């Protein structure tokens, strides 16, 4: 128990044995609250036989001060580099992908005095802050780098699209540098409002990608209708589906699932004929990379090209790939990384 803080409260305004708390004994006249905090100040150990309730206010003040400092601190996001390959050229850095739901639980949330967290639209409020932070980071990259934001079906609706448009107008990030990645369930909806705002976002220059190819069932007829309707720009392809069940260690081409290779080669060709861009992910083996290049995938990401980066590492990679960084106004935002 050393290194933790014991926070005790008594209705009788008296000290009481710590042993009774540790053993879990109940007393109808006393109300005990045990808080474990590694970093709390004022730790006095568990060697004493009594704990004075008068110092409760000091501990509570210290905890509130630390939480107040963390209230406006966002966790450092993890960026997955995206690479683009044109015919006859090597892969070049295109931008990065961010999953908007990856760390929303890590953000400190307001707690009411009753001890219950506020429930009014937690996803929407937290997503708004993450989007604002991601846009500010992407705006500091060079002007030709693109940001891809990945949404889940329960977080992407017409209100989310409206929020994206508002944040774009407030930030230095151009809509022509934004890619939105959504599941097929969003495309299958018959929400007229969603399609209207969707088209508005695309008219500003943003691109819409559908994820799930290789992991979930995708309707080819639905993809065809949405593509000719001008609502889609690309498809995300999970290249790990090419590996046999259980995976392989070497990743040689002879160990790939030949049936999956032939099947998805035809599927990707069909999508390309519809005018859709192919974004291949989970390229962790050389054989998978060879398939992606042979299939003509315009974009790719994975361990063979580069792993996940922090915000500082992503910015350095943009400097190395371009030789300069955009001179547009930088937003100073506190993060756990210190940026």
Q: Which pLDDT belongs to residue 125?
A: 55
pLDDT average, residue stretch 60-73? 63
Q: Topology of 93-322 in CATH?
A: TIM Barrel (3.20.20)
Tell me what percent of the chain is helix, strand and coil, each rounded to the nearest 5: 40, 15, 45
Rounded mean pLDDT of 306-333?
A: 64
Query: How many CB atoms sit inside 10 A of residue 226's CB?
Result: 21
Write down the pLDDT at residue 14: 44
Do 237 and 278 form a contact (C-beta atoms < 8 A)?
A: yes
Least confident of 50-64, 71-85, 230-244, 255-269: 50-64
- Tell me phi and psi for residue 171, to 5 degrees: -95, 175
pLDDT at residue 255 greater than cutoff 60: yes
| Segments of the chain assigned E as strands | 16-17, 50-51, 80-84, 92-99, 146-150, 178-183, 207-213, 234-238, 277-281, 299-300
The yes-or-no verdict on residue 182 having pLDDT over 60 is yes
Q: How many CB atoms sit inside 10 A of residue 162's CB?
A: 14
Distance CA(37)–CA(63), nearest Å, equals 9
Question: Can you tell me whether residue 10 is helix, strand or coil?
Answer: coil
Average pLDDT over residues 306-319: 86
- The residues near 316 (Cβ < 8 Å, ≥ 6 apart) are none
Tell me the pLDDT of the chain averaged across its residues.
Answer: 71
pLDDT number for residue 199 = 84
Greater confidence, 61 or 113? 61
**Alpha carbon distance 188, 214 (integer Å):** 18
What are the extents of the domains in the chain? 16-70, 93-322
pLDDT score, position 59: 67
Confidence of residue 23 (pLDDT cuts 50, 70, 90): very low
Buried b (16+ CB within 10 A) or exposed e, 258-283: eebbeebeebbeebbeeebbbbbbbb
Average pLDDT over residues 87-108: 71
pLDDT given for residue 209 in this prediction: 93
Q: How confident is the model at residue 22 (pLDDT cuts 50, 70, 90)?
A: very low
């Amino acid at each position: 128990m050393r290194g933790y803080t014991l926070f005790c409260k008594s209705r009788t305004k008296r000290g009481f044995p710590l042993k009774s708390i540790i053993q879990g004994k109940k007393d109808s006249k006393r109300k005990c609250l045990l808080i474990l905090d590694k970093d709390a100040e004022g730790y006095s150990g568990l060697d004493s036989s009594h704990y004075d309730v008068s110092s409760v206010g000091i501990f509570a003040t210290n905890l509130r001060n630390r939480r107040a400092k963390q209230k406006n601190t966002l966790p450092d996001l993890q960026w997955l580099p995206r690479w683009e390959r044109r015919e006859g050229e090597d892969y070049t850095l295109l931008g990065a992908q961010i999953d908007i739901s990856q760390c929303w639980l890590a953000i400190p949330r307001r707690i009411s005095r009753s001890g219950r967290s506020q429930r009014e639209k937690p996803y929407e409020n937290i997503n708004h802050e993450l989007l604002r932070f991601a846009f500010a980071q992407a705006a500091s990259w060079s002007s030709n780098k693109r940001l891809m934001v990945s949404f889940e079906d329960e977080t992407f609706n017409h209100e989310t699209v409206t929020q994206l448009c508002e944040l774009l107008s407030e930030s230095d990030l151009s809509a022509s540098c934004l890619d939105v990645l959504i599941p097929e369930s969003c495309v299958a909806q018959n929400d007229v409002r969603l399609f209207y705002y969707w088209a508005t976002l695309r008219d500003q220059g943003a691109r819409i990608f559908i994820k799930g190819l290789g992991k979930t069932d995708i309707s080819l007829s639905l993809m065809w209708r949405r593509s000719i309707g001008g609502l889609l720009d690309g498809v995300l392809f999970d290249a790990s589906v090419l590996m046999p069940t259980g995976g392989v260690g070497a990743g040689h081409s002879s160990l790939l699932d030949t049936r999956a290779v032939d099947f998805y080669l035809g599927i990707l060709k069909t999508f390309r004929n519809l005018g859709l861009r192919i974004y291949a992910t989970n390229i962790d083996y050389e054989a998978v990379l060879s398939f992606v290049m042979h299939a003509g995938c315009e974009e790719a990401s994975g361990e063979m090209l580069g792993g996940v980066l922090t915000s500082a590492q992503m910015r350095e990679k943009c400097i190395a790939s371009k030789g300069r960084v955009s001179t547009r106004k930088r937003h100073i935002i506190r993060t756990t990384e210190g940026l």
